[in-house]
Amino acid sequence: MELAVLSDIHGNYAALSECVSLALSRGISTFLFLGDYLGEMAYPERTMAFLYDLKDKYECLFVRGNKEGYWLSHAERGQEQEGWKEYHSTTGCLVYNWSRLTGRDLAFFEGMPIVRRLEYEGLPPLTLCHGSPLRVNEKLLPGDENTLSVMERTGTPMLLCGHTHRQEKIIHEGTTLLNAGSVGLGLDTGAGRPLQAQFLILHGEIRHGENLPGAGRWREEFVSLPYDTERVIRELYEEKLDQRAPYWTLITERMLRTGSGDHGRVLAKAMELCRAQEGQCIWPDIPEQYWQQAWEMETGRI
């Protein structure tokens, strides 16, 4: 038994295709997806078409990420109430993706659970989630007491998650946490090198002669592989994402080309600058001038 575990695609169907192709070339036909299917990249409909085709051909299990929560909340509340704006660094990519979602896509996201438990004969049971089993947007970080507390309450010997965009292995009191990293936007993965796609392969190893439940073990293999990042960058500009979400897209381009950068870090700095100047800053109302300043600080221009 072998499983491919993929998280945080963020609309990067070129990276997704490479990950799936590698898995299939190894004879893997079961895919576990841990959320955040769309996000920063162009042509989200291509990512969705790829996922629909894959689940028609192979065993695919899905959980919902925080991005799917955005789309579903937006469908319920509407753009004005959410405060999303077109041609704005904070929410331009959200509006762009929303404009291309179909009713089928929203129903697909709605049908995904937040957490699921899997059992395969002779192997330890698995818990799947995006952030944590408790909240889709919770980050399970190494060295964090909350992470250890969540692991103690998981109820299975292995917890699979994503959301942080970093591949991790944490062991605590008989529970192993494996973060699959990010297919589409791994954080700070290499100095000056193009971004690589990340995913996880689980190898189920059952001990001969032992038929007790959970008698076997899972062995993890973290995978990183190159793909055509320049094509992905070209498509950002084809779809005018540099105009729809100017600084957000500059961060994406830098990550794709150099493996360095973090949207969350620049966002936090932009909000800090906004608060210092204006007394408060409530997401998503962050003026572009603060995005510009934060971007210049991130890239060492000031």
3-state secondary structure of 201: strand
Residue with tokens 């189920």: 204
Q: Say what the alpha-carbon torsion angle 187, 52, 131, 21 is, to the nearest 10 degrees.
A: -40
160 Cβ partners below 8 Å, 6+ apart?
5, 32, 34, 126, 127, 128, 129, 178, 180, 200
pLDDT of 257-299, one tens digit each?
Answer: 999 999 999 999 999 999 999 999 999 999 999 999 999 999 9
Q: Which two tokens stand for residue 183?
A: 């297919």
pLDDT at 188: 72
Q: Are 254 and 260 in contact (CB under 8 A)?
A: yes
Do 109 and 212 lie in one domain? The reply is: yes
Q: Is residue 134 classed exposed, middle or buried when 0-12, 13-18 and 19+ CB atoms within 10 A define those classes?
A: middle
Closest CA relative to residue 194, chosen from 233, 250, 241: 233
pLDDT at 107: 98
Residue with tokens 């299939």: 24
pLDDT at 16: 98
- pTM for the predicted model, two decimal places: 0.95
Residue with tokens 């919770």: 138
- Mean pLDDT calculated for residue range 132-136: 97
How far apart, in whole angstroms, are the C-alpha atoms of residue 295 and residue 98?
A: 25
Does the structure show a pLDDT above 90 at 211? no
Q: Write down the mean pLDDT value for the chain.
A: 95
What is the domain count for the chain? Answer: 2
Do 278 and 170 lie in one domain? The reply is: no
How far apart, in whole angstroms, are the C-alpha atoms of residue 80 and residue 91?
A: 12
In percent, how much of the chain has pLDDT > 70? Answer: 95
Do 207 and 270 lie in one domain? The reply is: no
Closest CA relative to residue 10, chosen from 108, 93, 102: 93
pLDDT at 290: 98
Q: Which segment of 180-189, 195-204, 233-242 scores lowest on mean pLDDT?
A: 180-189
Do 147 and 167 lie in one domain? The reply is: yes
- Mean pLDDT calculated for residue range 148-169: 97
Residue with tokens 């962050």: 286
Do 83 and 104 lie in one domain? The reply is: yes
Do 27 and 61 lie in one domain? The reply is: yes
Q: Give the count of beta carbons closer than 10 Å to the beta carbon of residue 242.
A: 16
Type of residue found at 155: G
How far apart, in whole angstroms, are the C-alpha atoms of residue 47 and residue 6?
A: 13
Closest CA relative to residue 33, chosen from 45, 43, 14, 47: 47
Do 134 and 277 lie in one domain? The reply is: no
Domain boundary among 228, 262, 283: 228
Domain boundary among 174, 203, 228: 228
Domain boundary among 201, 228, 255: 228
CA Rg, the chain, in Å?
20
Closest CA relative to residue 10, chosen from 243, 257, 185, 198: 185
Do 242 and 201 lie in one domain? The reply is: no
Do 160 and 269 lie in one domain? The reply is: no
Do 199 and 270 lie in one domain? The reply is: no
Structural domain boundaries enclosing 74: 2-228
Percentage helix, strand, coil for the chain under 3-state DSSP, each rounded to 5: 40, 20, 40
Query: Residue 50: which CATH number?
Result: 3.60.21.10
Do 241 and 218 lie in one domain? The reply is: no
Do 217 and 241 lie in one domain? The reply is: no
pLDDT of 36-85, one tens digit each?
Answer: 999 999 999 999 999 999 999 999 999 999 999 999 999 998 766 678 99
